[in-house]
Amino acid sequence: MASPSAEYNFTGDVGELLSTTPSAADLLNTTAAVVADMLGGGVGNRSVAHGAAHARPMGRVFVLLVKVVYAIGIVGNACAIIALRRGERRVRNRKHLLLLTSLAANDLVALVGMMCAMLVGEHVPGVGSTRAYCATRVVLRV
């Protein structure tokens, strides 16, 4: 078996190695651009027209997947609240029931709000890039 130095050429200095290695910022920018292209969005100075995110098939699939997940969450939380309230008389620990119902209700409000915000951002041109829209999404997430 050959020694490691025979397999690899270790000649050269550290400065030469660092000058040919991309920086962390370069790697991050490249990765962000690739992910944005996969999802159908734009990064940095690129201008993205309204609806351009839906022009690519991957962007459409991602948006559809998010909508399906939101819908499943909304239906699931609504069913959980109904099931918890129906069995209310048979429960020994009322605090537990109250906390579970509150958790499901909070999640339901957040999901409905985020779904509405996403739909408004899709269908109303220009609103998705405003500061008020961003603030609304943050409030609805909490």
Phi and psi at 84, nearest 5°, equal: -65, -40
Beta-carbon contacts of residue 74 (< 8 Å; ≥ 6 apart) = 108, 111, 112, 115
Instruction: Return the amino acid letter for 80.
Output: A
String of DSSP letters for 25-77? HHHHHHHHHHHHHHHT---TT----TTGGGSSHHHHHHHHHHHHHHHHHHHHH
Residue pLDDT tens, the chain, 142 long:
555 555 555 565 555 555 555 555 555 556 555 555 655 554 444 444 444 444 566 788 888 999 999 999 999 999 999 998 887 777 788 888 899 999 999 999 999 988 988 888 888 888 888 888 888 888 877 6
pTM, full prediction? 0.56
